[in-house]
Structure 1
Amino acid sequence: MGMFRTAFMNVAGVHEEPKKGSYEWKKEHMTPQQLARTMDNAEKYNGIPAIPVDIGYHSGKNTGGAQKTGVVSNAASNPGVILGMGLTTAALLGMFKSSFLGDKVGAQKMMQYRIMAQFFTVTALVAGVTIFGATYEDEEHQK
């Protein structure tokens, strides 16, 4: 029986008998020894599966044959994109500040800076992909 259903039934004062073969029914019909053994096992084995040590702690072993991916490792491979994103964000924030202060000329300048920063970001992205494509060697071709 679900946790909320049990709570609602208890509040309503209705006690429903568990279905034969269910966990609750088995628990009610166990001998004290079986119940003690079940409680001992419940402390040892919870419902969460264990994660193997080599995967959980990144031991460096190739378990699945796939490379580890992530924001930090991808950013390290092409830092120009991260720099461009930072410049774009700074230009946007400057544009917002100038707009809120009523400085139309300053807002226009910041919009131009934003476009330049976005151009730099896209150029760095394309350059990174081009360099990666030119230097990539498939593992099968190496053998």
Structure 2
Amino acid sequence: MGIFRTVLMNAAGVQKEEPKKGSYEWKREHMTPEQLARTADNKEKYTGIPAIPVDIGYHGGKNVGGAQQTGVMSNAASNPGVILGMGLTTAALLGMFKSSFVGDKLGAQKMMQYRIMAQFFTVTALVAGVTIFGATYEDEEHAQK
């Protein structure tokens, strides 16, 4: 048990609870001296943290189950129109802020209109990307049959 937890539990008036039967702590209390010596030698090798399989942890190139590798760059490459639209929207917002701070009401109004156009472009690119993906997607299981 950690020092902080021990102090906190003592301050709260809670007595140390017995480890559950079959747990790591319970097994350590009931080991023979020979078993304890072996465990002390292998302490770094056998921790309480489960090992990550090599094919998953180090990208072994095997097709394993679970979530697919995703990332911002791979998603951006699949639909660059959305990234372009987000950039245009951000530029229009920054221009709107600049015009507002300077006091140019007509410029701020124009930038608000540009922002709406850029957002329309972004949503259109997003919907088009989803539509194209849906039309070209082939399930690997059905393709093999």
* 1:8 corresponding residue in structure 2: 8
The number of equivalent residue pairs is 142
Q: Deviations over 1:92-120 (max 9, x none)?
A: 12212222222212211111111111111
Normalising by structure 1, what TM-score?
0.76
Matches within 5 A, 1:1-143: 3-8=3-8, 19=18, 32-64=33-65, 67-139=68-140, 140-141=142-143, 143=145
CA apart distance, 1:30: 5.3
SS in 2 for 1:43: coil
* Runs of 5+ consecutive residues of structure 2 not aligned to the other structure: none
Distance 1:19-1:96 versus aligned 2 partners, 3 A rule: same
- Identity among equivalent positions (%) equals 83
SS in 1 for 2:43: helix
RMSD: 3.2
CA apart distance, 1:81: 0.5
Answer with 122-131 or 22-31: which moved more. 22-31
In 2, distance between residues paired with 1:33 and 1:25? 16
Conserved 8 A contact 1:18-1:24: no
The one-letter amino acid of 1:6's match is T
Distance 1:141-1:50 versus aligned 2 partners, 3 A rule: same
* Runs of 5+ consecutive residues of structure 1 not aligned to the other structure: none
In 1, distance between residues paired with 2:66 and 2:10? 52
CA apart distance, 1:9: 5.5
SS in 2 for 1:96: helix
Distance 1:33-1:17 versus aligned 2 partners, 3 A rule: farther
In 1, distance between residues paired with 2:42 and 2:101? 63
